[in-house]
A = this chain, B = another copy of it.
């Protein structure tokens, strides 16, 4: 009689903002700004209500949720009055946040993760659980032959320690425990043939990758604008300055490369060619939870006339991500309930690097999402 949201990285900024927000919505202390499933076009009886959401998660860190929430309030990410009012409710979630099991063989670790998920579902009598990865971005992992095939993967995990990167371990555990999976990060997650096979075998849906919260969101409407006007984009260069939790990690070349590639994909897909320039991510700790992105676009008009556009986006990543995490969890749970399996390409609206053959223009993604919700409604009746 409830839906579980299991957050990988449960003590991080995005997770705690999501939990505070859901508790505030449930308590009537805040409105649904930023929650796209609360727009008239997307409201649906097929989606679980905020009051029916139950939170749990894994984290390697040990900071109490209440402490993290207070830090977020001090940083201007969430209103101090909300945190003060919800301290008791937050503390109640604490018991469902588990340390990440460690150990030698990945089969054992995966089993321990899955056991945590099953206990969570049973303890709260939940209809179903969605696992959402909001932990730090991983480096691109080395390829492994066992990634291509489920049987090979299970054999390898039974003897080896490093077959799957962490994000894929959580996807594996989710699927074996009968849970759907959403990857809000650019990490590997469920994007391996062996895991697609597992999701299919267990009849589970999954979604990803890499929540589209700021600069890429803007790109996904500006690039189609240039395309629809037949203007030729010559260069598109950007820089992201951020100081929050994921920043230090993203500044490392390997993770940076993963993220930056994810951020430029929209240009090639919507313009039909790749303009010069790239996106750079810089970690500046002092900037804290707010991120400033600056983009320069140079383009040619009629008869080749050169022109330019710049934009600066100053946003709070956690505040932008958290309502989308709730949206994704509600939508994926509803898809699970409706018997949908495999990659949910219809959720491309939410991602920088959507699964499957999804469009990259935000408005086309929006249409797809509206149709998806209407179908959930239809399935319900």
Give the shortest distance, in Å, between A323 (CB) and chain B (any CB): 4
Closest to A350 in B: B229
Give the shortest distance, in Å, between A285 (CB) and chain B (any CB): 6
Question: In the bound complex, do residue A302 and residue B320 qualify as a contact, i.e. CB atoms below 8 Å apart?
Answer: yes
**Given contact pairs A276-B286, A305-B76, A305-B319, A230 touches B310 in the complex (Cβ within 8 A):** no
Contact with B along A58-102 (1 / 0, CB 8 A): 000000000000000000111100100000000000000000000
Total count of chain A residues near the partner, CB < 8 A: 76
CA A290 – CA B217 in complex, angstroms? 26
Q: Is A278 an interface residue (CB 8 A)?
A: yes
Using A218-B222, A302-B323, A309-B315 as known contacts, list a sample of 17 further A-B pairs with CB atoms less than 8 Å apart, ordered by residue number in A: A17-B302, A34-B302, A38-B230, A78-B303, A78-B305, A222-B222, A228-B366, A230-B323, A235-B286, A241-B296, A290-B307, A301-B320, A305-B316, A305-B319, A308-B314, A309-B312, A363-B364
Question: In the bound complex, do residue B319 and residue A33 qualify as a contact, i.e. CB atoms below 8 Å apart?
Answer: no
Question: In the bound complex, do residue B312 and residue A310 qualify as a contact, i.e. CB atoms below 8 Å apart?
Answer: yes
Q: Which of A117-154 contact B (CB under 8 A)?
A: none
Q: Is A35 an interface residue (CB 8 A)?
A: yes
Of B30, B34, B287, which is within 8 A of A235 by CB? Answer: B287
Q: Is A261 an interface residue (CB 8 A)?
A: no
**Given contact pairs A221-B225, A222-B218, A310-B312, A322 touches B302 in the complex (Cβ within 8 A):** yes
Q: Is A300 an interface residue (CB 8 A)?
A: yes
Q: Which of A306-341 contact B (CB under 8 A)?
A: 307-316, 319-320, 322-323
Question: In the bound complex, do residue A319 and residue B307 qualify as a contact, i.e. CB atoms below 8 Å apart?
Answer: yes
Q: Which of A205-260 contact B (CB under 8 A)?
A: 217-218, 220-222, 224-225, 227-232, 234-235, 237, 239, 241
Closest to A34 in B: B302
Give the shortest distance, in Å, between A347 (CB) and chain B (any CB): 14
Question: In the bound complex, do residue A224 and residue B225 qualify as a contact, i.e. CB atoms below 8 Å apart?
Answer: no
**Given contact pairs A21-B302, A221-B221, A302-B323, A315 touches B310 in the complex (Cβ within 8 A):** no
Q: Is A372 an interface residue (CB 8 A)?
A: no
**Given contact pairs A33-B302, A230-B323, A302-B34, A239 touches B307 in the complex (Cβ within 8 A):** no
Question: In the bound complex, do residue A303 and residue B33 qualify as a contact, i.e. CB atoms below 8 Å apart?
Answer: yes
CA A311 – CA B215 in complex, angstroms? 12
CA A290 – CA B305 in complex, angstroms? 10
Q: Is A39 an interface residue (CB 8 A)?
A: yes
Q: Is A161 an interface residue (CB 8 A)?
A: no
CA A126 – CA B79 in complex, angstroms? 44
Closest 6 pairs (CB-CB, A-B): A363-B363, A34-B302, A305-B319, A311-B311, A221-B221, A301-B319
Question: In the bound complex, do residue A307 and residue B316 qualify as a contact, i.e. CB atoms below 8 Å apart?
Answer: yes
Q: Is A292 an interface residue (CB 8 A)?
A: yes
Q: Is A202 an interface residue (CB 8 A)?
A: no
Question: In the bound complex, do residue A278 and residue B282 qualify as a contact, i.e. CB atoms below 8 Å apart?
Answer: yes
CA A244 – CA B320 in complex, angstroms? 27
Q: Is A180 an interface residue (CB 8 A)?
A: no
Closest to A291 in B: B307
CA A237 – CA B315 in complex, angstroms? 17
Q: Is A20 an interface residue (CB 8 A)?
A: yes
Give the shortest distance, in Å, between A21 (CB) and chain B (any CB): 6
Question: In the bound complex, do residue A276 and residue B285 qualify as a contact, i.e. CB atoms below 8 Å apart?
Answer: yes
Q: Is A277 an interface residue (CB 8 A)?
A: yes
**Given contact pairs A300-B33, A305-B78, A314-B308, A277 touches B239 in the complex (Cβ within 8 A):** no
